[in-house]
Amino acid sequence: MGIDLPLLWFLIIIFSTMMYIVMDGFDLGIGILYPMIKQQSDRDLMMNSVAPVWDGNETWLVLGGAGLFGAFPLAYAVILDALAIPLTIMLLGLIFRGVAFEFRFKATPSHQPIWDKAFIAGSIIATFTQGIVVGAVIDGFPIENRTYIGGAFDWFSPFPLFCGFGLLIAYGLLGCGWLVMKTEGHLQQQMYGLLRPLTLLMMTSIIIISFWTPASQPAIAERWFSFPNLLFFMPVPLLVMFSGWKLLTANQNSSHYTPFLAALLLVFMGFSGLGISIWPNIIPPFISYEEAASPSQSLGFMLVGALFIIPIILVYTCWSYYVFRGKITHEQGYH
């Protein structure tokens, strides 16, 4: 029995995307939370908490995009054609944010507020457009003869825009959990105070999307609510409720790690719901990953490189987080 190369590459791309959402989500969330923190010393602390690791987090985005281009060129072409505008804006936001991140530490005190605003804008724009992309993928793309036939602004509709708002809340929640884990004192207490409203907003967004998706997509509704699928998918909403409960009670227990871990679980469950909704289509609603895959020879050749590079990225990531573990204080800095 041979290896199912298209399935293996589909899983690699899903894994890379999930790693990006988890790893880059919390540092984008820090930019989203920036407007709520006014003290410059606290803002320095927030940036220093992610300074050693933030640029490495985006490696997963590059890996996922390159993997999609090589393994599923049809999907890459359709998605890039349909979502050229939000994807371009997302990349500009990430670039602007990265420049602001570096320049802020080098700027004079009078110029720091300019780069603070740039960091906030880049984080919000990049996150919002990522949410739009997710929503547009769930909505699906009009395809004819393996070519996208929709308009350049099909993504500009209520559901993708609402998903953009939902991802802002999700990343803000991840950033809040990260800062509870990495800081102490005044800033940590501020993050504890934000946990509850962010969690309530996140749970409300999940409920709205969970009703909106099957209502607008009959095929997804049939997949979710038919037997025995309903029984198999039941752990997803149960784990979502468990995560929400842990986040809402984290302040009472003064737990330093629970908020971040619970937020990760909540985001992972949301991503799982997306995967359940579109599987096995890589271009919803009709083109599966098998139909969009490159020839087996190309997939096999790429797999050799992937099996070499992915463990290196994982080891580097684990090592960097291990080296910079523990609390960050005002006396520490990495720039």
Domain count, the chain: 1
Between these two residues, 282 and 88, which has the higher pLDDT value?
Answer: 88
Identify whether 169 is part of a domain: yes
Number of Cα atoms under 13 Å in the Cβ half of residue 221: 8
The pLDDT > 70 percentage for the chain reads: 97
Question: The tokens of 288 are what?
Answer: 């599966």
Identify whether 330 is part of a domain: no
Q: Quick one: pLDDT band at residue 101, thresholds 50, 70, 90?
A: confident
Q: pLDDT digit string (tens) for 184-241?
A: 888 888 888 888 899 999 999 988 988 888 887 777 777 777 777 777 788 888 888 8
Identify the domain containing residue 280 by its residue range: 5-324
Identify whether 41 is part of a domain: yes
Identify whether 69 is part of a domain: yes
Identify whether 111 is part of a domain: yes
Q: pLDDT digit string (tens) for 232-271?
A: 788 888 888 888 888 888 776 667 888 898 998 888 888 8
Identify whether 112 is part of a domain: yes
Question: The tokens of 215 are what?
Answer: 């209502």
Backbone angles phi, psi at 147, to 5 degrees: -135, 140
- pLDDT for 151 equals 86
Do β-strands 147-148 and 281-283 pair in parallel, antiparallel, or remain unpaired? unpaired
Cβ proximity of 47 and 189 under 8 Å? no
Reply yes or no on whether the pLDDT at 333 is more than 80.
no
Question: The tokens of 110 are what?
Answer: 């009078």
Backbone angles phi, psi at 288, to 5 degrees: -80, 170
Identify whether 329 is part of a domain: no
What is the C-alpha separation between 76 and 184, in angstroms, rounded?
44
Average pLDDT, the chain: 85
